[in-house]
Amino acid sequence: MFMYLVLMGDFNNPDICWRDNTAGHKQSRRFLECIDDNFLLQVIEEPMRRGAILNLVLTNKEGLLGNVKLKGSLGCSDHETVEFKICRAARRAHSKLTTLDLRRADFGLFRDFLGRVPWDKALEGRGAQESWLVFKDHLLQAQE
């Protein structure tokens, strides 16, 4: 069975020219070779910082992703938020992950608990990833 792949993240290879598929540094050239060897396509076309494309969205299927847009920075981060649509009907995957049972949650208690957190102070000076971890910790505390 063929699996479609979407891989995204900050790969920090500012010397890669995605239009020409070239790079100045050896590490970046090896990264390009890896992408080529695995038949991956890079779908971000707009530069983000100083003319470089740093946040990448890679896929193994042309046409799988559409409406790729840069949506501005998130919080104090200088990285761009990337939005895209997956253009294929998703099949429901069976997962062995443990999840919260929100059907029995008391959302009033959640709201009260999370409403007491001084979010301005808790998230001040933090980037997107660190802010998410702080929020997740508070959410899990509220769940207990």
HEC secondary structure over 24-35: CCHHHHHHHHHH
What is the per-residue pLDDT for 117?
A: 92
Query: And the tokens for 4?
Result: 């479609």
What is the per-residue pLDDT for 49?
A: 65
Specify the DSSP class assigned to residue 52. B
What is the per-residue pLDDT for 26?
A: 94
What is the per-residue pLDDT for 60?
A: 92
Specify the DSSP class assigned to residue 47. -
What is the per-residue pLDDT for 121?
A: 92
What is the per-residue pLDDT for 95?
A: 62
> What order of strands is seen across the sheet that includes strand 41-42?
6-10, 55-59, 41-42
Identify the segments of the chain with pLDDT beneath 50.
none
What is the per-residue pLDDT for 34?
A: 92
pTM, rounded to two decimals: 0.57
What is the per-residue pLDDT for 27?
A: 93
